[in-house]
Amino acid sequence: MTESINIGFLGPLSGAVESWGQPGLNGCRIWQDWLNKAGGMLIGGRRYPIKIHTYDCGYDPDQALKGAVELVHHHRVKILMMLGGDTFTPIRDYVKRNKVLTTTLLPSDLSPDTPYLIAPSELHPIFNVTAVDWLARMKPDLKTVAICSQTDKIGLPSLATYRAAFKAAGIEIVEEVQYAPDATDPVPIVGPMLGSGADILCWGTSYAPMVHAMTEYAYAQGFGGQLLSCTFDNYHQLVARTSSDFMDDALFQFPDFDDPKLREKTFFFNQPHVFFEEYNRRFPGTWSAVSWEYAAILDIWHAAVEKAGSVQSLSVLAAMKQLGHVTHAFGSAEWWGEDLFGISNALIGDWPVVTMQDGKARIVEFGSIPAWLERHSELLKQEMSNLGQLWQQRLELDAGPHR
């Protein structure tokens, strides 16, 4: 069929947050080509090609609103994929009014006021608890941590989650540095962290350029302890600029897809290694935390569209919720979120804990997020509240200029 099903990609394709946008679009291009080569999307007995339309919002809230209007009204997209955070806030009412099925990688965007927003791929920042839990069990001699975070809607929920995870693990936070999202100098951030004498340096969910700058500064200053970060995108560059020995045992949350342990998991791609190989062939040197995540969202959406026999938001959302057994990126998952976000629009399951071993990322465990929450959800809610990140607090704070 010549008529296409349009998909919107509204994300940071340039700027400091590019590594959480452009690589995700790259993965979607592979997904699009694979599906169209197989005949397209089957709806009501007919097959339709899919077409991805993009808008680079550069993690700028004003640009995000312009992009949403262009993608929804001009291109008539049936699903709008976003990184989320500060770029979702200005479009929240717009997508609700227009009943646009929208996805985020940040479940902290969810609230009862976002009925058409879902987080089916990434449970950031809650999955960060799995690495801290693993660290406490595997390296019980590490007793203190220094942590930093940028003060935006990516950084602050992550800081709250790490605070809760360290407290649950009995690891003392001896230094905490909050910095402006546009900061570029690692010295005033890492300096106090090093001065604390902490066993662990935690970069939180800092942007990739800052993660690199802070890691290289810690190396130059002779730090020899444990590194922990949500992501280490382009870690090969860090190994080259520091050393394999320095980066060994660095702990984070995002694997390469040639990891042997992925062969043992129920996986959203039948052939994750093939996807990884094709990605690196077509987009060399750009693999990041999000390279597969938007494609994973499209896989879940695709299954729901074909089940519903429709691309209408309400029908697809209902089909998603009625799929029964949902295969999340790393195995079985369930819809969750009412307790923390006021709406169960996030998929929750296991998440990988990754360490550096001889210059290569390797999965050491699949940690259970539901099991951690069963023990510590009240602690997490308290820390979210302390930083103003509960959905009630966020809606109240955002109520001014965009309502």
**Residue 77 in contact with residue 58, Cβ under 8 Å?**
no
Domain boundary among 301, 321, 349: 349
Structural contact between residues 376 and 387, judged by C-beta atoms closer than 8 angstroms: no
Range of the domain at 44: 5-124+265-349
In this structure, the answer to whether residues 189 and 336 fall within a common structural domain is no
- Evaluate whether residue 402 is within a structural domain: no
The candidate with the shortest Cα–Cα distance to 384, out of 336, 329, 344, 342, is: 342
pTM over 0.75: yes
Residue 183 is predicted with a pLDDT of 96
Question: What per-residue confidence (pLDDT) applies to 271?
Answer: 76
Q: Are residues 162 and 272 in the same domain?
A: no
Residues 165 and 276 in one domain: no
- Residue 394 counted as domain residue: no
* 295 and 243 share one domain: no
Q: Is 89:57 a contact under the CB 8 Å cutoff?
A: no
- Asked whether residue 392 is domain-assigned, the answer is no
Q: What is the pLDDT of residue 273?
A: 85
Query: Predicted confidence band at 264 (pLDDT cuts at 50, 70, 90)?
Result: low
Give how many domains the chain has, as a whole number.
2
Residue type, 390: L
Residue 361 lies in a domain: yes
Could you tell me if residue 395 is inside a domain? no
* 195 and 209 co-located in one domain: yes
| Same domain membership, residue 302 and residue 255 | no
Indicate whether 233 and 371 sit together in one domain: yes
Separation between Cα atoms, residue 129 and residue 131, nearest integer Å? 6
Same domain for 154 and 76? no
Residues 285-341: tens digit of each pLDDT: 999 999 999 999 999 999 999 999 999 999 999 999 886 667 777 888 899 999 899
In a domain, 397, yes or no: no
CATH number at residue 49: 3.40.50.2300
pLDDT at 62 over 90: yes
